[in-house]
Amino acid sequence: MTCSLADLHRTQSQMVQTEKMSALGQMVAGVAHEINNPINFIDANLLYVDDYTQTLLNLVQAYQNHYPEPLEALQAQLEAADVPFLAEDLHKILHSMKNGSDRIRDIVLSLRNFSRLDETGVKSINLHEGIDNALMILQHRLKGGENGKAINILKDYADLPLVECYPGSLNQVFMNLLVNAIDAIEEKVRQWADQSGLICIATEVIDQQVRITISDNGIGIPETVRSRIFDPFFTTKAVGKGTGLGLSISYQIVTEQHHGRMTCDSTSGEGCKFAIELPLHHA
């Protein structure tokens, strides 16, 4: 039996991307595990630091109440230390450290959920969690990576039931589509500096299927190449920016692995919208 060139390219892309995602997933899970232990230690000890600091400040305040006129040398030290400012600023610093610790914990959780190495089979999951995990991981780009202009996210989430799927594979699809949307917006901003970026994510239930749409106001896809965007190794990005595998693998995950449907609607210069339709129950 002979194999066509298209089938060969397809098999190659599957093998390359599967190996790549397997290695990436193991690395992500390992990094998340290593970060999780020290951040738990920091987070737990911040509670004690806050409590001890407040105790010491209360003690200083008690001394000031009982000895309103201290010795001249001590008064000079108190004025130099500016205790009221220290008390106020120390509280702000601890609050900022707590927010930073919580932020790291959220990122670690998103990385662990996104890799999902322990979920090799079909699982019933909340699709919104997978999308939100991808957004969390991409925050550094959404806040204004290359051009310094933040990309706004508009969510229109429906009340979805749990969907039977391969979680790790679908997370890969969400990540690919969001990265493409960010790339398209950044390319448009480079050409028209006054443009602002917007990604809209919507979900809905239609009959026994769930529909996810991810649209952007980026550079769009020219009509001349739109029919080829799901072909393996085809890319409209500059050399070094894309491999041409992301959309191809995503299409295969949706259509073959999940028996769903994936479409693209785009206008050059105005943006792009990808729509994914998945059955609620995996065949």
Residue 129, both tokens: 């969690």
Distances (CA, A) of 228 to 221, 232, 263, 266: 10, 9, 12, 13
41-64: pLDDT as tens digits: 888 888 888 888 889 888 888 887
What is the Cα–Cα distance from 45 to 34, expressed in whole angstroms?
Answer: 18
Tens digit of each residue's pLDDT (9 = 90 or more) over 71-92: 787 788 878 878 888 888 888 8
Confidence of residue 19 (pLDDT cuts 50, 70, 90): low
3-class secondary structure, 204: strand
Q: What pLDDT, on the 0 to 100 scale, is given for residue 239?
A: 46
Query: For residue 233, what pLDDT is reported?
Result: 56
- Bridge-based pairing of strands 197-206 and 209-216 is antiparallel
- Mean pLDDT check: name the lowest of 167-176, 191-200, 205-214, 230-239: 230-239
Q: Is the pLDDT of residue 68 over 90?
A: no
Higher pLDDT, 78 or 138: 138
- The mean pLDDT of 184-203, rounded to a whole number, is 86
Per-residue pLDDT band at 8 (split at 50, 70, 90): low
Residue pair 279/260 in contact (Cβ under 8 Å)? The answer is yes
Predicted pLDDT at 228:
67
Question: What pLDDT shows up at residue 10?
Answer: 60
DSSP labels for 113-159? Answer: HHH-TT--S-EEE-HHHHHHHHHHHTHHHHTTSSSS--EEEEEE---
pLDDT attached to residue 240: 47
What whole-number distance in Å separates Cα of residue 126 and Cα of residue 113?
12
Instruction: Give the pLDDT confidence score for residue 279 in this predicted structure.
Output: 93
H or E segment and range at residue 151: strand 151-156
Q: Per-residue confidence at 277, pLDDT binned at 50, 70, 90? A: very high
Structure tokens at 88: 């106020």
Average pLDDT for 195-217: 92
Give pLDDT, residue 29.
64
- Domain 123-279: state its class: alpha beta
Helix (H, G, I), strand (E, B) or coil at 119: coil
CA separation for the pair 90, 126 (Å, rounded): 40
Cα distance between residue 197 and residue 63, in whole Å? 56
**What distance in Å separates the CA atoms of residue 280 and residue 35, rounded to the nearest whole number?**
35
Quote the pTM value.
0.67
6-31 as b/e: b if 16+ CB within 10 A: eeebbeebbeebeeebeeebeebbee
**Which of 19-23, 169-173, 187-191, 247-251 has the lowest average pLDDT?**
19-23
Domain borders along the chain are 6-112, 123-279
Query: In the prediction, which pLDDT does 126 show?
Result: 92
How far apart are alpha carbons 169 and 166 in whole angstroms?
6
Cβ contact 135:153 at 8 Å: yes
CA torsion 127-129-134-140 (nearest 10°) is: 150
Residues constituting the chain: 283
Least confident of 117-121, 248-252, 273-277: 117-121
